[in-house]
Copies of this chain bind each other. A is one copy, B any other.
């Protein structure tokens, strides 16, 4: 194994074993490189790799720290990866979403707060036929993130958010607007909000399944 990979493994192990905890500061690059027995250049490659997957947080002029390792950071790292995979088999990704998101909605229905309902309704305002694709994507992102957030499981939210990154959504919404399917999508969103508000987990789950399947169906014929 290359020295850089060894360094990555060593740092990873230090975190898993608890020698390094969330928020801890690593020794300066020069010192750590000597300790691990490699050059600063090679160590920096290792640190950069761990930085991109949100394990380390490098602050210039200050030092390098272990991130909070919160689930949300998993989402960022996963999104980066999924963005690169999306063209390969977007339908497979959608199939996973179709499993997770209805389940998330069912959980959300049992514990969503009035404030979250209000926030959901807010995503529906000021949307009409002239709304730009970018704006539609933004609202759609917030809508679905609010639902997954209401399910109160950060990992569930992370995986879902990564699987439906804004890059993926953008391409889909572009298609939806061309197909004049925006109205239908918004109507489904409205129905979902109402089900959540009534605490009807079963209906919310089914509505989400229908909602996602609809987009999936459009995708299937568009490809």
Contacts and interface: CB of A to CB of B under 8 A. Distances in A.
A152 B92 CA distance: 9
B55 A52 contact: no
Given A71-B85, A77-B53, A155 B100 contact: no
Interface string A50-89: 1111110000000000000111001001101111110011
How many of these chains are in the complex? 2
Given A16-B167, A95-B153, A89 B103 contact: no
Interface residues of A, number: 46
A82 B162 CA distance: 14
Contact of A88 (B45, B70, B156): B70
Given A4-B48, A44-B45, A83 B16 contact: yes
B100 A71 contact: no
A2 B90 CA distance: 32
A60 B153 CA distance: 42
Give the 10 A-B CB pairs with smallest separation, nearest first. Answer: A45-B48, A49-B52, A99-B103, A92-B155, A49-B49, A48-B49, A92-B153, A96-B156, A45-B45, A93-B155
Interface of A: 4, 8, 12, 15-16, 41, 44-46, 48-55, 69-71, 74, 77-78, 80-85, 88-89, 92-93, 95-96, 99-100, 103-104, 153-156, 159, 163, 167
